[in-house]
């Protein structure tokens, strides 16, 4: 079994912290893992991506090969489109928050962006920000998106919850619970589709 | 055995701690920064008394590395590829002095220029200096090579370069570690007291010794296991895969077996015998190098009269940029899968100054003053403020190398192009700006120098700046008149005042320094979080 995931967003949105949760869960399942990250200049408001590769066999490349990504997981819709050349166009999924993060003057119309995402064979575009806000956890967008993705992740949601516990445990029970709730709410969205 | 999830950079740092490191010396630079940061944050390293503060620049860092080695201890130097240029003087000569305690230089290259101004390949430096190179293909190898590198360095009394690239530096994987493999060396004097005295009479002898070491080093590259000959049944093509490129090769044979013989290269000098075996057995050779075509050129030779050699020079692989599985797959003639094209509407999202960044206020004031003089008069430097080249500021005309703002503005001013303005960050100023400022003072050139003081090395992720609290004293000490060292606060509410100060100093026919001083916001937030944590 292999799972290749691209996590993307804009520098400072915290998109990459999701990768830590998934990799913890995968390691717990005894899988091999490689994760290539963006550091340095791009982090100043530029586009950031992380290639997360999980497999039950040893992994060679740190980068996901073109056309073989199983899952693009994004907290921003235009950023999800930027990595389409990596997507497995038949089996791969794009799961993204629907709200643009506009820090450039030439950001396209929101509806055009969402229409492009919907053109992909398998996609879920939804208002993860709203769900997070409704839960009283406005910073939980990442976890909501991860929850929606969990359906296609081939990793048990319980394992992800353990990983959240592990990652946020030091910050206290309330934070762990808020993030787990966000995860479950995101999963509910995917289950309804 | 203990297993940790580590970035390539972190694997190197942990290995150094485990291999008896006594000190690491570096100036921050992407993608090398996390090596030193890991050691600075490591409790274990603190308990072991490993020194790890940031140095002013790569030259001072490498010289201190050499000094620690002189005293018998194991030392490490790290830099990004362009840092090798700054350290080139001690680097070349340290090959001739050789070492006492083991020395490893980590050169972190950035092919595709993710965060750099060029994609120079540091292997050229090591080849030029005739020192061995270790080029890991994965995080585990990076870890193991630090242990091995110190042994090699002490055995041959030579500095060793470990060359990594961005993908390995910033990619995480599980690494098996061996804690406390070696205790730190005791301080010990040299057997040969003249070893580090490079007077011509000694240097000539030492250089001959360096040349004599090459045979042993090549033999180590053949025998010590990092270079592997993997036989294949189809001899139509032989593949030489250097460093990380080996992974991209293997990725293409995930489900199948490579039928061509492969020479995996992770240690140099090139093991000529192994290369020759491949060359003799195969009809053509494909060379995969992450970086520039160093060995492709050597194997091909100037006249290219031998067998067909494929790589970056004949167009089999693009001449520039980093490799990836698809590029290697296509070079192998394999069918490579494709995803979807990027829709045309997707706009680029380049990095930019953060909301509320002090540099933005500095540029707004500077732009207003410069309007009457016309474009092309602001010479900038390397740091977050380089982003002043982008809209909406479009404020700067040059960015070349660390410190070049002051000296290029000086040269332009001396050409009669006045006013000439330099913009340099606090940390870049103490890295390579101070000597240029002295040149300006000695020649009394009309120049206005902005030293943007945000109290941190921001671009690389907020590392301590050697300049903090010292800028006025340095400028005064170098000879800038006290009346023309002006500190301003880059905030909207002081805009008019700041514009006035800039006007006055630009009108002054001599050396003036303006210091816009306000803390980097990323740093301020980080500090606040850390303080909160401490309170708990």
Q: In what order do the strands lie in the sheet with B267-268?
A: B21-26, B74-80, B103-109, B160-165, B133-134, B267-268
Structural domains of chain A, count: 1
Residue A18, pLDDT score: 87
Residues B413 and B512 grouped into a single domain = yes
Report which of residues A14 and A56 the model is more confident about.
A56
Check pLDDT > 90 for residue B18: yes
Is B345 inside any structural domain? no
Q: Does B192 touch chain A (CB under 8 A)?
A: no
> H helices of B112-199, where?
123-129, 139-156, 166-169
Instruction: Return the CATH number at B322.
Output: 3.40.50.920
Residue B495, pLDDT score: 98
Q: Does B225 touch chain A (CB under 8 A)?
A: no
Q: Which of B351, B431, B514 is nearest to B59 (CA)?
A: B431
Residues of B in contact with A108 (CB under 8 A): 345-347
CA angle B107, B111, B115 (to 5 degrees): 85
Over residues A95-115, the mean pLDDT reads 95
- Each residue of A84-101: pLDDT tens digit? 999 999 999 999 999 999
Assembly ipTM: 0.93
Measured between CA atoms, the residue of chain A closest to residue B8 is A36
Instruction: Return the CATH number at A164.
Output: 3.40.920.10
* Shortest Cα distance, chain B CAs vs residue A185, angstroms: 29
Q: Does A129 touch chain B (CB under 8 A)?
A: no
From its phi and psi, is residue A14 left (phi > 0), alpha (psi between -120 and 50) or beta? left
Predicted confidence band at B435 (pLDDT cuts at 50, 70, 90)?
Answer: very high
Residues B107 and B210 grouped into a single domain = yes
Q: Which residue bears the tokens 């660390």?
A: B402
Q: Which of B26, B74, B23, B69 is nearest to B50 (CA)?
A: B23
Q: How far is CA B93 from CA B58, B129, B211, in A?
A: 15, 8, 14
Task: Tell me the sheet residues that pair with B129.
Answer: none
Over residues B416-441, the mean pLDDT reads 98
Domain boundary among B221, B241, B263: B221
Q: Does A30 touch chain B (CB under 8 A)?
A: no
Residues B49 and B164 grouped into a single domain = yes
Q: Which of residues 112-131 of B touch A (CB under 8 A)?
A: 114-115
Can you give the residue range of the structural domain that contains A185? 2-192
Instruction: Return the CATH number at B483.
Output: 3.40.50.970
Measured between CA atoms, the residue of chain A closest to residue B113 is A41
Residues B139 and B233 grouped into a single domain = no
Over residues B412-433, the mean pLDDT reads 98
Which residue of A17, A36, A46 is the best one to mutate when testing the B interface, meaning the one whose CB has the most B CBs within 10 A?
A36
* Shortest Cα distance, chain A CAs vs residue B411, angstroms: 29
Residues of A in contact with B349 (CB under 8 A): 10, 45-47, 78-79, 103-104
Handedness of CA B96, B97, B102, B108 (dihedral sign): negative
Which residue of B38, B335, B349, B356 is the best one to mutate when testing the A interface, meaning the one whose CB has the most A CBs within 10 A?
B349
Which residue of B141, B172, B252, B463 is the best one to mutate when testing the A interface, meaning the one whose CB has the most A CBs within 10 A?
B172
Residues B467 and B408 grouped into a single domain = yes
Residue A17, pLDDT score: 74
Structural domains of chain B, count: 3
What percent of chain B clears pLDDT 90, i.e. is strictly above it? 96
Residue A16, pLDDT score: 67
- Each residue of B444-495: pLDDT tens digit? 999 999 999 999 999 998 999 999 999 999 999 999 999 999 999 999 999 9
User: Euclidean distance between the first and final Cα of chain B, in Å?
Assistant: 34
* Shortest Cα distance, chain B CAs vs residue A11, angstroms: 8
Residues B367 and B488 grouped into a single domain = yes
* Shortest Cα distance, chain B CAs vs residue A107, angstroms: 6
Q: Which of B34, B28, B31 is nearest to B13 (CA)?
A: B34
Predicted confidence band at B350 (pLDDT cuts at 50, 70, 90)?
Answer: confident
**Which among B244, B329, B351 is the nearest to A11, CB-wise?**
B351
Is B485 inside any structural domain? yes
Q: State whether B349 and A37 contact (CB < 8 Å).
A: no
| CB B18 within 8 Å of CB B182 | yes
| CB B352 within 8 Å of CB A45 | yes
Is B141 inside any structural domain? yes
- Each residue of A27-38: pLDDT tens digit? 888 899 999 987
Is B172 inside any structural domain? yes
Q: Which of A2, A5, A44, A25 is nearest to A180 (CA)?
A: A25
Over residues B184-191, the mean pLDDT reads 96
Is B300 inside any structural domain? yes
Domain boundary among B221, B256, B283: B221
Cα dihedral B370, B375, B377, B383, rounded to 10, equals 90
Q: In what order do the strands lie in the sheet with B171-177?
A: A122-126, A93-97, A71-74, A2-10, A47-55, A32-36, B171-177, B2-7
pTM metric for this prediction: 0.96
Q: State whether B250 and A69 contact (CB < 8 Å).
A: no
Is B531 inside any structural domain? no
Residue A12, pLDDT score: 67
Residues B181 and B212 grouped into a single domain = yes
Is B535 inside any structural domain? no
Q: Does B34 touch chain A (CB under 8 A)?
A: yes
Can you give the residue range of the structural domain that contains B276? 228-331
Residue A19, pLDDT score: 87
């Amino acid at each position: 079994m292999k799972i290749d995931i691209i996590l993307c967003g804009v520098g400072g949105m915290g998109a990459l912290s999701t990768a830590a949760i998934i990799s913890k869960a995968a390691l717990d399942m005894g899988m091999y893992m490689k994760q290539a990250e963006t550091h340095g200049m791009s982090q100043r408001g530029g586009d950031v991506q992380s290639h997360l590769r999980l497999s039950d066999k040893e992994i060679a490349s740190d980068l996901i090969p073109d056309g073989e990504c199983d899952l693009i997981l994004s907290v921003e819709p235009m950023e999800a489109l930027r990595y389409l050349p990596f997507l497995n166009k038949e089996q791969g999924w794009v799961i993204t928050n629907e709200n643009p993060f506009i820090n450039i003057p030439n950001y396209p119309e929101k509806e055009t962006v969402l229409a492009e995402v919907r053109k992909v064979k398998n996609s879920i575009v939804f208002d993860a920000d709203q769900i997070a806000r409704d839960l009283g956890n406005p910073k939980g967008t990442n976890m909501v998106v991860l929850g929606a993705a969990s359906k296609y992740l081939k990793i048990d949601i319980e394992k992800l919850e353990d990983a959240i516990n592990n990652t946020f445990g030091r910050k206290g029970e309330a934070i762990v619970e808020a993030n787990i709730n966000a995860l479950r709410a995101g999963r509910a969205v995917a289950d309804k589709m | 055995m203990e297993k940790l999830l580590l970035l390539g950079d972190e694997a190197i740092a942990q290995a150094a701690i485990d291999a008896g490191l006594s000190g690491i010396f570096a100036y921050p630079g992407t993608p090398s920064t996390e090596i030193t940061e890991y050691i600075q944050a490591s409790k274990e390293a603190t308990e072991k008394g490993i020194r790890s503060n940031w140095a002013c620049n790569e030259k001072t860092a490498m010289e201190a590395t050499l000094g620690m080695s002189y005293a018998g201890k194991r030392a490490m130097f790290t830099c990004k590829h362009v840092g090798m240029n700054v350290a080139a003087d001690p680097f070349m000569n340290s090959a001739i002095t050789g070492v006492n305690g083991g020395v490893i230089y980590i050169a972190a290259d950035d092919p595709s220029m993710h965060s750099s101004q060029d994609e120079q390949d540091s292997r050229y430096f090591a080849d030029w200096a005739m020192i061995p190179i270790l080029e890991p293909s994965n995080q585990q190898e990076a870890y193991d090579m630090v242990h091995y590198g110190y042994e090699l360095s002490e055995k041959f009394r030579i500095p060793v370069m470990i060359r990594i690239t961005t993908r390995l530096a910033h990619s995480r994987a599980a690494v098996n570690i061996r804690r406390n493999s070696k205790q730190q060396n005791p301080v010990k004097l040299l057997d040969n007291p003249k070893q580090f005295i490079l007077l011509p009479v000694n240097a000539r002898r030492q250089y001959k010794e360096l040349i004599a070491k090459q045979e042993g080093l090549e033999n180590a590259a053949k025998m010590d296991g990092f270079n592997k000959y993997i036989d294949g049944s189809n001899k139509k093509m032989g593949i030489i895969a250097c460093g990380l490129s080996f992974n991209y090769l293997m990725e293409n044979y995930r489900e199948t077996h490579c039928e061509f013989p492969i020479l995996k290269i992770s240690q140099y000098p090139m093991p000529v015998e192994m290369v020759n075996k491949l060359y003799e057995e195969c009809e053509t050779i494909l060379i995969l190098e992450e970086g520039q075509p160093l060995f492709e050129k050597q194997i091909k030779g100037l006249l290219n009269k031998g067998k067909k050699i494929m790589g970056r020079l004949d167009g089999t692989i693009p001449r520039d940029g980093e490799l990836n599985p698809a590029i290697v797959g296509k070079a192998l003639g394999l069918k490579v899968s494709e995803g979807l094209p990027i829709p045309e509407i997707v706009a680029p999202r380049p990095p930019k100054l953060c909301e509320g960044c002090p540099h933005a206020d500095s540029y707004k004031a500077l732009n207003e003053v410069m309007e009457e003089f016309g474009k092309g008069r602001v010479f900038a430097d390397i740091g977050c403020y380089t982003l002043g080249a982008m809209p909406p500021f479009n404020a700067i005309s040059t960015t070349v190398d660390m410190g070049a703002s002051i000296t290029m503005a000086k040269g332009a001013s001396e050409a009669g192009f006045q006013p000439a303005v330099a913009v340099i960050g606090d940390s870049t100023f103490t890295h390579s700006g101070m000597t240029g400022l002295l040149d300006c003072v000695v020649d009394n050139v009309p120049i206005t120098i902005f030293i943007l003081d945000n109290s941190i090395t921001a671009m690389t992720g907020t590392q301590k700046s050697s300049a903090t609290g010292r800028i006025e004293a340095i400028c005064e000490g170098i000879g800038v008149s006290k009346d023309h060292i002006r500190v301003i606060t880059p905030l909207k509410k002081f805009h008019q005042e700041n514009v006035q100060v800039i006007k006055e100093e630009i009108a002054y026919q001599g050396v003036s320094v303006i210091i816009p001083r306000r803390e980097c916001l990323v740093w301020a937030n980080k500090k606040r979080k850390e303080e909160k944590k401490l309170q708990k």
